[in-house]
């Protein structure tokens, strides 16, 4: 239900009439104002240290504070149809992200030409006045109302969930990580970035000359890192696995080699890192506008998983989500429809997985399916379909029917919805970090943070 704004026309305005509007200043307000105004002063950006004291200031711009007065004049008193003629303000204090602000106006005079004069001020919720002045507006002559149903919404493209993950992980000891074939600049940069943020301690395995050339391209000194010369990618992957068995590494990271070459060493029956569970990949996604992390699985390892494999895929994802702080993950088993249809095999698997969770064969999370994508993530869509479930509309983990659909979901969220995507392979003795040349710095860091938090939870 959209709000309806009604005005008070000029003839109905009386001296002393007043109105106010309360607004919580949030970090996204500061980002939106920075884009709209072009004012990129770091003192007003939530994540920046503008004065060099070692912590962000997140000071609300004074001009933004002034706009709160315009919202009262334009929405309430006089309301729709009002136009500014002048506004002057004295700024007596500062506001920050997290403050509750109250903008107030009061009619002080009316002119025969239709002008209306107002006292205007903004105060914090403790009564401290931080802006004060007066305004002159042209008041509407006739009664009007306006329903705000055609104003586009805004989604700020920032990734607060990954920021929280990084903050949690950076308090952990660095995770010793065997990095296989970091022989290109992008592959090496991801490992070194994780090291810079104390998430991992890289052990570089590959062709020494190529790794050094990549470091030279990045203009980075890698002399402080252990470097094991092994030009053959298959043997380099095997050496990485051996470092895990020796207790020298607690994670494996993909560099510039084929994923199959790396995983072949990981799943080797005699020398690999197998456990009693099937390996699967989980994308951990920070989607702008979504109030929680979103986990997509499996989009990289199991092409057409059968029911037994999907049990492990689901359990792996639940375990990962719990290690990242999700107390009881809600798991939506996806299909094209939300009802069981014998002609759509994925609906049968989904129903079986749900029942297996009810019987304790999958633990730690709430599992429901089949669910279509809309009613898995949108509560209104689930209610429209009449689905009564603790998962429908609230899913935090999405289990795709097959690799193709999972990969499409993850890539669409990344390149259309501007999500950041980290992720790891789990089900082995240690997490395996798979990086992509398309990953940006935030995604690379997130993958390292996910691996560090998962490894800490398993130890």
Percentage of the chain with pLDDT > 90?
81
Alpha-carbon separation of residue 283 from 113, 179, 253, 409 (angstroms): 63, 20, 15, 10
- Centroid of chain to Cα 136: 43
CATH topology for the 4-147 domain: Thiol Ester Dehydrase; Chain A (3.10.129)
Retrieve residue 403's tokens: 């690799």
Confidence at 47, pLDDT banded by 50, 70, 90: confident
Mean pLDDT of 43-48: 87
Q: How many CB atoms lie within 10 A of CB 439?
A: 21
CB–CB of 155/139 below 8 Å? no
**Does the bond joining 388 to the residue before it have cis omega, within 30 degrees of 0?**
no
Q: Is residue 449 scored above 70 in pLDDT?
A: yes
Half-sphere exposure in the Cβ direction for 308 (13 Å, CA): 3
Looking at residue 3, what is its pLDDT? 75
Confidence at 62, pLDDT banded by 50, 70, 90: very high
Instruction: Indicate the average pLDDT of the chain.
Output: 93
Sheet holding 280-286, edge to edge: 226-229, 200-206, 175-180, 251-254, 432-433, 420-426, 280-286, 294-297, 397-399, 330-334, 366-371
44-53, 244-253, 354-363, range with the lowest pLDDT: 44-53
From-to residues of CATH 3.10.129.10 in the chain: 4-147
Confidence at 28, pLDDT banded by 50, 70, 90: confident
Mean pLDDT of 172-192: 94
Looking at residue 237, what is its pLDDT? 96
Rounded to the nearest 10 degrees, the angle between the axes of helix 345-358 and helix 307-323 is 50
Looking at residue 1, what is its pLDDT? 54
Each residue's pLDDT tens digit, 84-140: 999 999 999 999 989 999 999 999 999 989 899 999 999 999 999 999 999 999 999
Retrieve residue 250's tokens: 């607690």
Q: Which CATH number fits domain 279-427: 3.40.718.10, 1.10.1660.10, 3.40.50.970, 3.40.50.1000?
A: 3.40.718.10
Each residue's pLDDT tens digit, 385-442: 999 899 999 999 999 999 999 999 999 999 999 898 998 999 999 999 988 777 778 8
Mean pLDDT of 364-369: 96
Each residue's pLDDT tens digit, 249-268: 999 999 999 999 999 999 99
Q: Is residue 156 scored above 90 in pLDDT?
A: no
Looking at residue 2, what is its pLDDT? 65
Q: Is 1 exposed, middle or buried (0-12, 13-18, 19+ CB in 10 A)?
A: exposed
Mean pLDDT of 276-296: 93
- Centroid of chain to Cα 3: 29
CB–CB of 259/187 below 8 Å? no
Looking at residue 54, what is its pLDDT? 83
Rg of the chain taking only CA atoms, in angstroms: 28
**Does the bond joining 272 to the residue before it have cis omega, within 30 degrees of 0?**
no
Number of helical H runs and strand E runs in the chain: 13, 18
Instruction: Provide the b/e sequence for 89-127 (b: ≥16 CB within 10 Å).
Output: beeeeebebebebbbbbbbeebeeeeebbbebbbbbeee
CA 351/CA 356 separation, integer angstroms: 9
Each residue's pLDDT tens digit, 308-360: 999 999 999 999 999 999 999 999 999 999 999 999 999 999 999 999 999 99
Q: Among positive and negative, which fits the CA dihedral 399, 402, 406, 408?
A: negative
Mean pLDDT of 22-38: 92
CA 380/CA 385 separation, integer angstroms: 9
Helices (H), 13-141: 27-37, 62-75
Looking at residue 214, what is its pLDDT? 95
């Amino acid at each position: 239900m959209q709000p309806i704004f009604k005005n008070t026309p000029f003839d109905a305005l009386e001296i002393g009439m007043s109105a106010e509007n309360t607004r919580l200043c949030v970090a996204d307000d500061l980002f939106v104002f920075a884009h709209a105004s072009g004012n990129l002063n770091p003192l007003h950006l939530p994540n920046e240290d503008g004065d060099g004291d070692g912590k962000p200031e997140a000071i609300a711009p004074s001009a933004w504070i002034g706009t709160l007065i315009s919202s009262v004049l334009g929405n309430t008193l006089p309301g729709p149809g009002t136009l500014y003629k002048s506004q002057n303000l004295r700024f007596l204090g500062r506001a920050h992200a997290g403050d509750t602000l109250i903008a107030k106006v009061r009619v002080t005079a009316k002119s025969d030409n239709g002008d209306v004069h107002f006292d205007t001020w903004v105060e914090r919720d403790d009564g401290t006045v931080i802006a004060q002045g007066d305004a002159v507006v042209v008041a509407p002559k006739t009664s009007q109302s306006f329903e705000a149903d055609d104003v586009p919404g805004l989604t700020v493209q920032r990734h607060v969930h990954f920021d929280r993950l990084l903050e949690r992980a950076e308090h952990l000891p660095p995770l010793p990580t065997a990095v296989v074939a970091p022989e290109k600049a992008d592959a090496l940069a991801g490992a070194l970035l994780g090291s810079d943020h104390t998430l991992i301690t890289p052990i570089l395995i590959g062709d020494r000359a190529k790794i050094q050339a990549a470091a030279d391209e990045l203009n980075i000194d890698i002399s402080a890192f252990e470097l094991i010369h092994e030009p053959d990618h298959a043997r380099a992957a095997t050496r990485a696995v051996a470092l895990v068995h020796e207790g020298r590494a607690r994670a494996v990271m993909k560099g510039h080699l084929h994923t199959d070459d790396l995983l072949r060493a990981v799943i080797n029956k005699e020398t690999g890192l197998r456990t009693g569970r099937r390996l699967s990949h989980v994308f951990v996604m920070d989607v702008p506008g979504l109030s929680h992390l979103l986990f997509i699985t499996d989009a990289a390892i199991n092409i057409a998983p059968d029911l037994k494999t999907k049990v492990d895929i689901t359990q792996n994802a639940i375990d990962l989500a719990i290690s990242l702080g999700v107390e009881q993950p809600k798991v939506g088993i996806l299909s094209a429809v939300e009802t069981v249809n014998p002609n759509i095999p994925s609906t049968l698997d989904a129903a079986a997985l749900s029942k297996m969770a009810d019987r304790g064969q999958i633990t730690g999370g709430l599992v429901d399916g089949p669910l279509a994508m809309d009613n898995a993530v949108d509560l209104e869509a689930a209610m429209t379909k009449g689905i009564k479930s603790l998962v429908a509309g609230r899913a935090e983990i999405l289990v795709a029917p097959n690799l193709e659909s999972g990969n499409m979901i993850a890539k669409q969220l990344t390149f259309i919805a501007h999500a950041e995507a980290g992720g790891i392979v789990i089900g082995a003795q240690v997490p395996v970090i798979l990086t992509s040349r398309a990953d940006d710095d935030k995604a690379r860091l997130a993958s390292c943070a996910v691996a560090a938090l998962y490894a800490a939870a398993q130890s």
